[in-house]
Structure 1
Amino acid sequence: MQRSFSLIVFTYVAIVLFSQNTFASEYLVKTQNEYKEVSSKLKAGDDVVLANGIWIDFEILFKAKGTEKQPVTLRAETPGQVILSGLSNLRLAGEYLVVSGLVFKDGYTPTGEVISFRSNEDDLANHSRVTEVVIDNYSNPEKFEQDKWVVMYGKHNRFDHSNLVGKKNAGVTMAVRLNTAESQQNHHRIDHNYFGPRPILGSNGGETLRIGTSHYSLTDSFTTIENNYFDRCNGEVEIISNKSGKNQILNNVFFESRGTLTLRHGNGNLVEGNVFFGNGVDHTGGIRVINSDQIIRNNYMEGLTGYRFGSGFTIMNGVPNSTINRYHQVDNALIENNTLVNVDHVHFAAGSDAERSATPINSKFQNNLIFSNKNTDGISIFDDISGVTFSGNLLSEGINPSISEGFKVTPLKMQRAKNGLLYPEENMQNVGAGKTLTPIQKDQVGASYYPKTEPDVAFDSGKVTQVKPTENALFNAINNASSGDVLILENGNYNIGKVIKLDKTITIKAKNRKHVTLYPARSTFVDINNFGSLKLVNLIISGKRAPDSAGNTLIRTSRVPMQRNFRLEITGSIIEDLDVNHSFHLFDAGHRSFADYIKITKTTMSNISGDIMRLNKETDDLGIYNAEYIYFNDNLLENVEGAVAKVYRGGTDESTFGPHFIMSGNLLKNVGNGKRNKNAASVYLHGVQVAQISENQLFDSAPIDIEHTVGEPVTAVINNEMTNTSAPKVVELIVKGPHTATLENNIVK
């Protein structure tokens, strides 16, 4: 009887398992209505297949309950051939869901999230996975309209082997939220993803990955971030912004990314096995330590140039009895077995001021290796560091230790190993990063079917076209060109009777220097739009045929706010007679436009009734500005009524590195003296973070006027000669006390 009963039970279980497998369904859907019909009846083991093609304005709600062994899946018929465009997004809700193979491009989310692990505040996804998906330049056209691309809620979810590339509007690229108990202690996993290039935002709000928020920062998340590749993620000073506890950040690679992995809030996090390749790129940083019980070990940092909050390695000061959103004191940090190779800046007790006065305590910095071919350890100390114990650290030969105790100078010969990292040829046991460290490669991450392309079209990378001086020849040549092309102008005069609306990367170059003259006959020569970048080489540009009206502009950006960053170069040219009426400017940046860089070099500019560069439209004081780098070198200016540059960055936000203003080797004669030049300055800089003004000669010109705001700006005005020109003026508008600029060897006659 017992045997018969066991047989009945076994048979019943077998029938149940067979039924589950037998009745799982696969649905190939070709329309949104078909999907809606199918999605309402999904059960464990079902497989929904989206047919190949472009799905426009498709807001997908994927809600179902699978099991660990029989998840419910939503996938592309062919990975990469299901394109979600227009106003599309994806929400997951339920248990054991899997999504794969989808591509979001050519549009933006109509809500605040492209992929969300919830359908609403109460209906979350758990034990679910999104894999092999792509979000490619799927950015809101309103640059400062915030959204997020991927947001994880719930618990035990995974996001992996996906591409997130080219976010251009405000808002973190990916976030983990802990805003309810159902999303805390979540044990999410984020792995093997390609976080592709994110351009400089020019404002706060450009993080690539954030785990938690300050409001829930004392809550543990238990999220693992491992084996991801961060490629030129330049949005703002924080690449990863950790704002919760008990997370593990493991074995990730940061390639030429401006900013740092920042332990901004939250305690008890582990940062291990990460590799930072700066390659000497400006503002590349490493790890910034704040809060309690952080472990930072076996990480490798090389060629990092960042300083202050973006330095190669930073231990911060905290705020005594800090509120939850400020800076908690560093307590019980363990920093061991890390390697720093040619890291320019290592900061201890960084940010020390009247508010941030709580120095690090109960912490250890041990068995780390610092190698530098500049004979410096790069260490700067900003406050009392007696709360940090230093032991067993090695410095390369030639370094005079900034900290005597716990650092030993040792002859080191470094050799690059098969894993791409530098190690001492000598056997240095238990010092620096281990030789088993294996940096993830770019081709090992992201969606396997999707190429990793360069974010911008380079100047001079396309075909070369010869242009003759016939009617509308230049206008037509630009219309027919492809991005990256070079237009070579034959000798002669070119009358430009139409405004050129530029939406591609174009170089315009004279075949023979000083033998090609352009005569713009409209109020604007070039109007730079989204996707547009311009390079002018060896041209003569005359304003004699411009309309006799006030406010002409040779080059400007679109009057509509731009989503895309642009580049502008002018070299070896002559620009003259922009004076048919008052306020004729050479370049004018529009509101909410942003230049990666502007370079004007070896160019003569004369008889101009306006400014050379106007980068002063963001006057709402939100920390937004119009250009990251402005280079003005080896030029001759004569009879310019306005300023060389008016650059404005207002507000008190400290999350950006720029603007940068570099002006060197120029000769200015009678510049800035026009009655409409309200700043009465030849150069006016407000809130510029880095200013280097050197080796210039100013005759009969208005003075240089610099206004410091926040962010500990670095200003140097050195070796300039000023004849019949007032001395440079620097003022601190927010921080009390004397200015912090370096003014040296300036001759004022």
Structure 2
Amino acid sequence: MTISKQHIIIAIVSIQLFFIGCIGFANEIKVATIDEFNSAIQSVKAGDRIILKNGEWKDVKLVIKGQGSSENPIIIEAEESGKVFITGDSNLKIAGTHIVVKGLWFKNGYTSGKSVISFRINSKEFANHSRLTDCAITYYNPNSKATDYKWISVWGKNNRVDHNYFAGKANSGTTLVVWLKGEKHINNNHRIDHNYFGERPALGFNGGETIRIGTSKNSLLSSRTIVEDNVFEKCNGEVEIISNKSCDNVYRNNLFLESEGVLTLRHGNKCLIESNVFIGNQKSNTGGIRIINAGHVVRNNLMMNLTGDGFRGPIVVMNGVPNSPANRYHQVKDVKILNNTIINCSPIQFCAGSDEERSLPPINTVFANNLIFNDKNGDIATVHDKLDGFNFYGNILDSEKGFNQSGFSKVKVDWGTLENILYIPKTSNEELIKKSKPENKSPKLDITGAKRNTFVAGAYNLGNNKLPKALVLKSGTSWDSKVKPQKTIVEPEIIEVEPGVGTLRKALKKASFGSILNLKSGEYILEKGIKVSTSVTIQGNSTDKKTLLKVKEGLEKNPTYFFRVEGGNTLRLNNIEISGELSVPIKYAVVSPNKDISDTYSVFIDNCHIHGFKNKKGGSVYKAYKGTFADTVSIVNSRIENAYRGINLSEEKDDNGKYNAQVVHIDNTIFKDIDQWAVNYYRGGTDESTLGGKLLIDNSVFSNIGNTEKGTVIRNKGIVSVNIKNSVFEKSYKVVNPVNLKGNKNSISNCVIFDCGTVKITKGASAKDVMYKNPKWEDKNNFIPSEKSPLLKTQRIGLKWEAKK
């Protein structure tokens, strides 16, 4: 069952915000310009209210400093909430005590500073007992995703961030950070509540957290921050939606909806995580809670339809590093994981990350009275190391599969449903009562706040007919701060293009979003490279002969590329031929945006013939520049040949976990006569914050690729997920290892290797049904197998000719 915001009543609606009671104000000052604001703030005192007039405030630096009191705060607010737009290069800084900022909307801009909103002016002037409420920051991004700044930086003590809306952060830097740098910022008792954290796209490297509390360096200090009653929807920046890096924090009654990551107790001790709801709706990579360090209590949480594996599991208990430095993994110990309900999720991960470095399994860790339901024949848990340090008891499994460990009982639970959303155990479940065993940290209330008169496993009392607070809370602003895309459906514009010199480039200038450029049979001559600044499809319309794109002979300076895809756009190339052949070959057929562009893009190539890109000065058929990130690079039903290099996604050499594309998909495609590699897909370093890339290769042929002693066919260093199947690797006589797979998410299956070395498999990678045999082609150029070919003996290996036709 898919759960929407309508089901769980979390749409951003008008709400009654409570404010500190005031019996009148000393002054109420309306300001219309930054100069008027600066003048008013110079003499502001307790009880004063400064009102920013409606309209656009562009390129402003709002610095708020004053001394209010609990009875008479200083209030800086919009004339009407949501109608004061802070744009351009702008930011806001707060210092003093008892200051309230209300109703501002940061949009259509960026900041050249370290934060959009900061609870300090400098290292000596910061805010205490202050509040940011009913504000929004949306899509407030720089041009380069590598530019690092935070949206909210919380300093000082006793500050509150509540009833705000944050969405669309695409550049490096955490959305909201609580800082503990110095004595005046620890034991801070901040409160982050009733905020709506909207969509954050995958960043592609570390630094895409939505909330971080503390840093590795000060992670053993106490923050005592409370994070409650917030919504996190599609927060996909990296594996850590929330990164806890301090002690004694509380995370409760939060909703995580279709977010590709987990609440991570990365560093720090003694945190409480209770009554949160994690709903994946079967979206890929959605997860729950990851546990590291000591003394945490994780209880009364609900996980539903989460699919993430590895570090994105519903509950992940990590292995530690002996004598761990501050920035690695302290051993899990004295942790209690109690009364959680897990419904149709991917496996729980015990001792995750176990390797030569992370060699310390958890100790003195209780996993008790958890209720696990799975009617999808899914595994209950994955065990990566010894479980001697766990104390399992009172756990209930209602599933087809069991878990071979004492402390888990298979029980057929009598379930009811609540509002067709939730599975709730009915009152008739006597077995749950008999097999549950409370202990000193067991919750006294259930996930809805109802008293546990009868103790049972899971997050709910039997027969409870209330929704958890996380599903009924009203988060976000009192005004409609959501940026709504237009839902008008527009039929794609069809643009007919005639062959000739420059005709394609001229036609693209007329194209709008979604346009389809139909290229008639003939030759299309380019005099310069084409920048694709909107999402378009370029397709040949001939069925018997592909439309040819080439560069004009005799130019004073040849273009570097045929197509450059600008950020935020998608280029689709269908049924065309692209030739890079000249006396000095063209370097690239397609390139990414220029380096360090924040917007993602995608490239889809279908039924194309691309050849002649033999430029030995770094040339390749496809090139991604440093600091760019493609959502998808897809090549299907195509032929790539006679080139220096194939697909180049290897510019991120800093070894800090960055990579150039989330998904690379190759299907039913020929790579032939390529001097170096067919694919170079690189991710360096050991950073674990992202999905780490995905390479999918199916029914393809790689012939005479990288034919040198140190050559290779597929380079995939550091890519987390690699799946190669039904493919042929041949005639790379000098290559030792055409494919080198590392890690348990790397696999090769049902493939033929001939005169092409051997596949190398390490660190849990798998190879199945790999045959070292002659493929026996009937047609060696088109790779059609003969009747005696081993490619026809089992599941089809090699090209799917019916698709190519």
TM-score, normalised by the number of residues in structure 1: 0.88
The 8 Å contact of residues 293 and 331 in structure 2, kept in 1 or not, is answered as yes
Q: In the alignment, which of 508, 513, 533 is matched to residue 478 of structure 1?
A: 508
Show the counterpart of 2:698: 664
Q: Which residue identity does 2:694 align to in structure 1?
A: H
How far did residue 695 of structure 1 move? 0.8
Q: Return the alpha-carbon distance in structure 2 between the equivalents of residues 489 and 459 of structure 1.
A: 28
How far did residue 272 of structure 1 move? 1.1
Show the counterpart of 2:13: none
How far did residue 623 of structure 1 move? 2.0
Q: Is 1:466 matched with 2:500?
A: no
Show the counterpart of 1:594: 629
How far did residue 313 of structure 1 move? 0.9
User: What whole-Å deviation, never above 9, does each CA across 1:231-267 have from its counterpart, x for those lacking one?
Assistant: 2222222111111222111111212222211112222
Show the counterpart of 1:432: 458
Show the counterpart of 1:502: 532
* Larger relative contact order, structure 1 or 2 (CA cutoff 8 Å, min sep 6): 2
Evaluate the alpha carbon distance shift between residue 442 and residue 199 of structure 1 in structure 2; reply closer, same or farther with a 3 A threshold.
farther
The 8 Å contact of residues 467 and 474 in structure 1, kept in 2 or not, is answered as no
Show the counterpart of 1:15: none
The residue correspondences of 1:51-90 to structure 2 (distance < 5 A) are 51-90=53-92
Q: In the alignment, which of 260, 278, 281 is matched to residue 280 of structure 2?
A: 278
Q: In the alignment, which of 517, 524, 533 is matched to residue 547 of structure 2?
A: 517
Q: Return the alpha-carbon distance in structure 1 between the equivalents of residues 562 and 259 of structure 2.
A: 35
Show the counterpart of 1:557: 592
The residue correspondences of 1:414-433 to structure 2 (distance < 5 A) are 416-418=417-419, 420-424=421-425, 427=429, 428=432, 430-433=456-459
Q: Is 1:145 matched with 2:179?
A: no
Show the counterpart of 2:115: 113
Show the counterpart of 1:188: 190
Q: In the alignment, which of 668, 688, 704 is matched to residue 654 of structure 1?
A: 688
User: What whole-Å deviation, never above 9, does each CA across 1:175-209 have from its counterpart, x for those lacking one?
Assistant: 11121222222221111222222222222222111
Q: Is 1:719 matched with 2:732?
A: no
Evaluate the alpha carbon distance shift between residue 603 and residue 459 of structure 1 in structure 2; reply closer, same or farther with a 3 A threshold.
farther
Show the counterpart of 1:740: 764
Evaluate the alpha carbon distance shift between residue 356 and residue 308 of structure 1 in structure 2; reply closer, same or farther with a 3 A threshold.
same
Evaluate the alpha carbon distance shift between residue 116 and residue 105 of structure 1 in structure 2; reply closer, same or farther with a 3 A threshold.
same
SS at match of 1:35: helix
Q: Return the alpha-carbon distance in structure 1 between the equivalents of residues 369 and 660 of structure 2.
A: 44
Q: Which residue identity does 1:685 align to in structure 2?
A: N
Q: Return the alpha-carbon distance in structure 1 between the equivalents of residues 353 and 46 of structure 2.
A: 54
User: What whole-Å deviation, never above 9, does each CA across 1:151-180 have from its counterpart, x for those lacking one?
Assistant: 111122111122222222222111111212
Q: Which residue identity does 1:536 align to in structure 2?
A: L
Evaluate the alpha carbon distance shift between residue 727 and residue 22 of structure 1 in structure 2; reply closer, same or farther with a 3 A threshold.
closer
User: What whole-Å deviation, never above 9, does each CA across 1:211-245 have from its counterpart, x for those lacking one?
Assistant: 11222222222211112121222222211111122
Evaluate the alpha carbon distance shift between residue 241 and residue 157 of structure 1 in structure 2; reply closer, same or farther with a 3 A threshold.
same
Q: Is 1:700 matched with 2:735?
A: no
Q: Which residue identity does 1:126 align to in structure 2?
A: N
Unaligned runs of 5+ in 1: 1-19, 731-737
Q: Return the alpha-carbon distance in structure 2 between the equivalents of residues 453 and 541 of structure 1.
A: 41
The 8 Å contact of residues 263 and 289 in structure 1, kept in 2 or not, is answered as yes
How far did residue 84 of structure 1 move? 1.8
Q: Is 1:444 matched with 2:487?
A: no
Evaluate the alpha carbon distance shift between residue 442 and residue 609 of structure 1 in structure 2; reply closer, same or farther with a 3 A threshold.
farther
User: What whole-Å deviation, never above 9, does each CA across 1:353-387 have from its counterpart, x for those lacking one?
Assistant: 44434432333212211122343443122333233
Q: Return the alpha-carbon distance in structure 2 between the equivalents of residues 746 and 460 of structure 1.
A: 48
The residue correspondences of 1:88-487 to structure 2 (distance < 5 A) are 88-403=90-405, 405-412=406-413, 416-418=417-419, 420-424=421-425, 427=429, 428=432, 430-434=456-460, 435=464, 436-438=466-468, 440=470, 444-453=474-483, 463-469=492-498, 472-487=502-517
Unaligned runs of 5+ in 2: 1-21, 434-455, 552-558, 774-805
Deviates more, 1:478-487 or 1:664-673: 478-487
Show the counterpart of 1:27: 29
User: What whole-Å deviation, never above 9, does each CA across 1:502-559 have from its counterpart, x for those lacking one?
Assistant: 233223344565566141424422112222221223x212316x65424521110133
User: How many residues of Structure 1 are paired with residues of Structure 2 in the alignment?
Assistant: 712
User: What whole-Å deviation, never above 9, does each CA across 1:302-348 have from its counterpart, x for those lacking one?
Assistant: 22222232222111223445444433332322212211122222112
The residue correspondences of 1:506-655 to structure 2 (distance < 5 A) are 506-511=536-541, 513=543, 517-521=547-551, 522-537=559-574, 539-543=575-579, 547-571=582-606, 573-579=607-613, 585-605=620-640, 607-655=641-689
Deviates more, 1:591-600 or 1:419-428: 419-428
The 8 Å contact of residues 213 and 244 in structure 1, kept in 2 or not, is answered as yes
Q: Return the alpha-carbon distance in structure 1 between the equivalents of residues 544 and 30 of structure 2.
A: 65
How far did residue 295 of structure 1 move? 1.3
User: What whole-Å deviation, never above 9, does each CA across 1:73-112 have from its counterpart, x for those lacking one?
Assistant: 1122232232222221111111111112212223322221
Q: Return the alpha-carbon distance in structure 1 between the equivalents of residues 61 and 239 of structure 2.
A: 33
SS at match of 1:119: strand
How far did residue 708 of structure 1 move? 6.4
The 8 Å contact of residues 528 and 556 in structure 1, kept in 2 or not, is answered as yes
How far did residue 490 of structure 1 move? 5.4
How far did residue 694 of structure 1 move? 1.0
The 8 Å contact of residues 532 and 564 in structure 2, kept in 1 or not, is answered as yes
The 8 Å contact of residues 610 and 621 in structure 2, kept in 1 or not, is answered as no
Q: Which residue identity does 1:257 align to in structure 2?
A: S
Q: CA RMSD in A?
A: 2.9
Evaluate the alpha carbon distance shift between residue 587 and residue 276 of structure 1 in structure 2; reply closer, same or farther with a 3 A threshold.
same
How far did residue 454 of structure 1 move? 7.4
Q: Return the alpha-carbon distance in structure 2 between the equivalents of residues 679 and 481 of structure 1.
A: 45
The 8 Å contact of residues 490 and 516 in structure 1, kept in 2 or not, is answered as no
Q: Return the alpha-carbon distance in structure 1 between the equivalents of residues 263 and 525 of structure 2.
A: 53
Evaluate the alpha carbon distance shift between residue 608 and residue 302 of structure 1 in structure 2; reply closer, same or farther with a 3 A threshold.
farther
How far did residue 641 of structure 1 move? 3.8
Q: Which residue identity does 1:699 align to in structure 2?
A: E
Evaluate the alpha carbon distance shift between residue 204 and residue 496 of structure 1 in structure 2; reply closer, same or farther with a 3 A threshold.
same
Q: Return the alpha-carbon distance in structure 1 between the equivalents of residues 613 and 715 of structure 2.
A: 21
The 8 Å contact of residues 738 and 758 in structure 2, kept in 1 or not, is answered as no
SS at match of 1:663: strand
The 8 Å contact of residues 643 and 672 in structure 1, kept in 2 or not, is answered as yes
Evaluate the alpha carbon distance shift between residue 129 and residue 508 of structure 1 in structure 2; reply closer, same or farther with a 3 A threshold.
same
Deviates more, 1:655-664 or 1:431-440: 431-440
Q: Return the alpha-carbon distance in structure 1 between the equivalents of residues 487 and 566 of structure 2.
A: 17
SS at match of 2:217: helix
Q: Which residue identity does 2:138 align to in structure 1?
A: D
SS at match of 2:184: helix
Q: Return the alpha-carbon distance in structure 2 between the equivalents of residues 447 and 485 of structure 1.
A: 37
Q: Which residue identity does 1:94 align to in structure 2?
A: G
User: What whole-Å deviation, never above 9, does each CA across 1:27-57 have from its counterpart, x for those lacking one?
Assistant: 2211111111101011222221222232222
Show the counterpart of 1:9: none
User: What whole-Å deviation, never above 9, does each CA across 1:377-413 have from its counterpart, x for those lacking one?
Assistant: 431223332332222211124212232x111112246
Q: Return the alpha-carbon distance in structure 2 between the equivalents of residues 439 and 420 of structure 1.
A: 14
Q: Which residue identity does 1:100 align to in structure 2?
A: K
Evaluate the alpha carbon distance shift between residue 397 and residue 206 of structure 1 in structure 2; reply closer, same or farther with a 3 A threshold.
closer
Evaluate the alpha carbon distance shift between residue 603 and residue 134 of structure 1 in structure 2; reply closer, same or farther with a 3 A threshold.
same
